Every structure is written in structure tokens, then in C-alpha cells.
């Protein structure tokens, strides 16, 4: 491990700040791409891809209408959720592995941060005391109870392969050595994609564009929000999508990333490579969502159990191929 090159420096601080701003700037565009792809594939013209920015700006300037039975938790939750997810996204190496705060968070902490964001959102769903919030929270708890273990199993696979759970070190290790077409990584990729779909409330687990009680999970939890609170919750969902795409790219397709103490040119290449990967991921997600129907709510548990078992298989196969 390149411990010396990971020591905090002015450069890593600047890159960290840049990272934080970049994820915030790019996230709505990704959601815009997904929506545009889905519209075009279903024969519609679709809104331009910068529409989410306009939506967020419009919502931010509106006054927030808060239910009479809501408490301070309801008003604080959007800020907490957004801050936790933004922090998580800012800590995943995107175009460089040299981040100031990199060593303070490893993969397990990242999963726990996302869990914390979900904790507050689920509580906010229960706060107003309507049945819709309850539906969203109860289904979200069921989905999370299986998605989180599946994610942790993928993390186990990766960290057993590389020997650490620290993200910058994983990225550097997977960039450097010739890992080859590892079977475990393939299984892990399938598992993490299934988890990402569930966590981001995408078809076939949840429909982000619906307000039908039968099909809502995430939308139901944030149903009572309006104005800037709703803007923050929507922005949090967009950044979460970017977080997962960035995580998948960092672990399974890290080529192009700049190593620590690389020059500006390497950083530029890394940035372009990362943007290309994000756009590709968004397009593929749009394609996938259009080609499949939403599952029944209780089939989601089997879907995620399959992801968990795939993750477990990945760990088992890693032991088999590594310990020989």
C-alpha cells in the first residue's frame, strides 16, 4: 500500500473539495440522462437533460408547507439525509485516489452512512402520521434488511481480494495488479448492480415516477415534503444514484483513474474517463428500466435474497481461487 503517498497534503485537500463540488454538479445531469433515455425509448420526446437542475431550483425557491402534526425531525431529516449522502459520494475516488478524507472512511463506514440516511428518511416518513408514510417506511425497511447484507457481502469479496476495506487503497490495488477476469468479481458485480437498483428505487424494485400506492416505496416516504425540503430529498436521491455508479466504476472499472502524485494531465484523463463511465452507466440504467417490468413487492425480497446469495457465492469462490 502506498501509505506515504496517501499522507494528507494541500493537493489532496484541493482535490477533495473539487470532488465534493463535482459530485453535486454532475448528479442531476445523470438523472436527466436516465429520464431522457427512458422517454426516447418509449417513443416520447422527453425533457432536456438539464431539466432536473431547473426542477431543483424551482423547488428550492418555493415555501415549504409542513403538516401540523410534523415535528422538528421532519424538518431536519432532509438536511441530515442530504449531508450524509453528499459526504458518502464525495469520499468515493472518482478521477483520483488522492483524497484528504479518504482514510477516514472505508467501505463499511460508507454503507453505514447510507444506512443512517435511510434511518432518518424512514423516521421522517412516520413523522406526519399518515398511512402513506407508513407504507413507504415499512417497505423500505424490508428492502434495506436484505440489500444491506448483500452489499456487505460484495464488500467482503472485494476486501478479501485486496486485503483492506479502505476505498482509495482498493482503487489503487485494482488499478495496479493484473486481476484478470476474476469470477468472484463478476458475481460481485451482478450482486452490487442488483443492490444498487434496489437502493436507488429503480424499476424493477420501485418506480421513481409513480404516485400509486400499490407501487410506491421511496416516493411514499417523501410524500409530505414540499419546497426546499423536497428539493433536498430529490437531490439526495440523485446524488445517491451518482454514488452507486461511482462506487461500481471505482471498484469494477477503475481504469483511467489518476494515482496519487500524478500530474495535471493524468487528472484530466481521469476526469474524462469518469464522466464517460457515469454517462454510460446512466444510459444503461435507462435501457434496463425500460426493458423490464416492476416486480411485485414480495418478489423483491426474493430478488434481494438472490443478490445476497450471489454475494456469498462470490466470497466462497474467492476463497477457492485464492487459497490454492
Binding of another protein by 291 (CB under 8 A): no
Q: Please identify which residue in 152, 259, 266, 279 interacts with another protein, judged by CB under 8 A.
A: 152
Binding residues among 74-133 for another protein as defined by CB under 8 A: 75, 79-80, 82-84, 86-87, 101, 103-106, 108-109, 112-113, 115-116, 118-119, 122-123, 126-133
- Select from 122, 118, 120, 128 the least CA-distant residue to 65: 128
Which range touches another protein (CB under 8 A), out of 41-49, 60-68, 256-264, 286-294? 60-68
Question: What minimum distance in Å lies between the beta carbon of 212 and another protein?
Answer: 10
Question: Which residue(s) pair with 258 in the sheet?
Answer: 96
Binding residues among 196-225 for another protein as defined by CB under 8 A: 211, 213, 223-224
Say how far apart CA 167 and CA 93 lie, in whole Å.
7
C-alpha cell at 215: 407501487
Nearer Cβ to another protein, position 244 or 317? 317
Binding residues among 230-269 for another protein as defined by CB under 8 A: 231-232
Is the bond leading into 147 cis (omega within 30 degrees of zero)? no
Q: Please identify which residue in 5, 60, 275, 280 interacts with another protein, judged by CB under 8 A.
A: 60
- Select from 194, 191, 200 the least CA-distant residue to 219: 200
Q: At what angle do helices 10-41 and 51-61 cross, to 10 degrees?
A: 110
Which range touches another protein (CB under 8 A), out of 44-52, 186-194, 196-204, 264-272? 186-194
From the centroid of its chain, how far is CA 53?
19
Binding of another protein by 292 (CB under 8 A): no
Say how far apart CA 319 and CA 324 lie, in whole Å.
8
Amino acid at each position: 500500500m502506498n501509505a506515504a503517498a496517501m499522507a494528507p497534503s494541500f493537493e489532496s485537500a484541493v482535490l477533495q473539495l473539487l470532488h465534493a463540488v463535482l459530485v453535486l454538479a454532475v448528479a442531476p445531469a445523470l438523472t436527466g440522462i436516465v429520464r431522457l433515455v427512458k422517454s426516447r425509448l418509449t417513443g416520447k420526446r422527453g425533457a432536456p437533460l438539464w431539466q432536473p437542475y431547473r426542477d431543483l431550483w424551482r423547488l428550492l425557491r418555493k415555501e415549504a408547507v409542513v403538516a401540523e402534526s410534523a415535528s422538528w425531525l421532519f424538518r431536519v431529516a432532509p438536511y441530515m439525509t442530504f449531508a450524509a449522502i453528499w459526504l458518502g459520494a464525495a469520499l468515493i475516488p472518482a478521477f483520483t485516489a488522492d483524497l484528504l478524507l479518504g482514510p477516514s472512511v472505508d467501505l463499511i463506514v460508507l454503507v453505514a452512512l447510507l444506512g443512517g440516511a435511510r434511518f432518518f428518511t424512514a423516521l421522517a416518513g412516520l413523522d406526519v402520521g399518515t398511512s402513506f408514510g407508513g407504507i413507504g417506511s415499512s417497505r423500505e425497511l424490508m428492502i434495506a434488511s436484505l440489500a444491506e447484507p448483500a452489499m456487505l457481502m460484495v464488500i467482503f469479496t472485494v476486501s478479501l481480494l485486496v486485503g483492506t476495506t479502505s476505498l482509495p487503497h482498493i482503487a489503487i490495488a485494482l488499478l495496479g495488479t493484473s486481476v484478470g477476469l476474476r469470477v468472484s468479481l463478476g458475481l460481485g458485480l451482478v450482486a452490487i448492480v442488483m443492490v444498487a437498483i434496489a437502493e436507488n428505487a429503480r424499476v424493477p424494485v420501485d418506480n421513481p415516477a409513480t404516485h400509486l400506492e400499490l407501487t410506491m416505496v421511496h416516493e411514499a416516504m417523501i410524500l409530505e415534503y414540499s419546497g426546499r425540503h423536497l428539493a433536498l430529498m430529490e437531490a439526495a436521491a440523485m446524488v445517491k444514484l451518482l454514488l452507486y455508479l461511482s462506487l461500481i466504476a471505482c471498484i469494477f472499472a477503475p481504469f483511467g483513474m489518476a494515482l496519487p502524485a500524478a500530474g495535471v494531465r493524468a487528472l484530466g484523463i481521469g476526469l474524462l474517463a469518469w464522466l464517460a463511465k457515469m454517462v454510460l452507466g446512466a444510459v444503461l440504467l435507462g435501457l434496463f428500466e425500460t426493458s423490464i417490468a416492476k416486480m411485485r413487492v414480495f418478489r423483491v425480497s426474493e430478488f434481494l435474497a438472490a443478490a445476497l446469495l450471489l454475494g456469498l457465492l462470490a466470497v466462497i469462490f474467492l476463497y477457492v481461487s485464492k487459497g490454492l
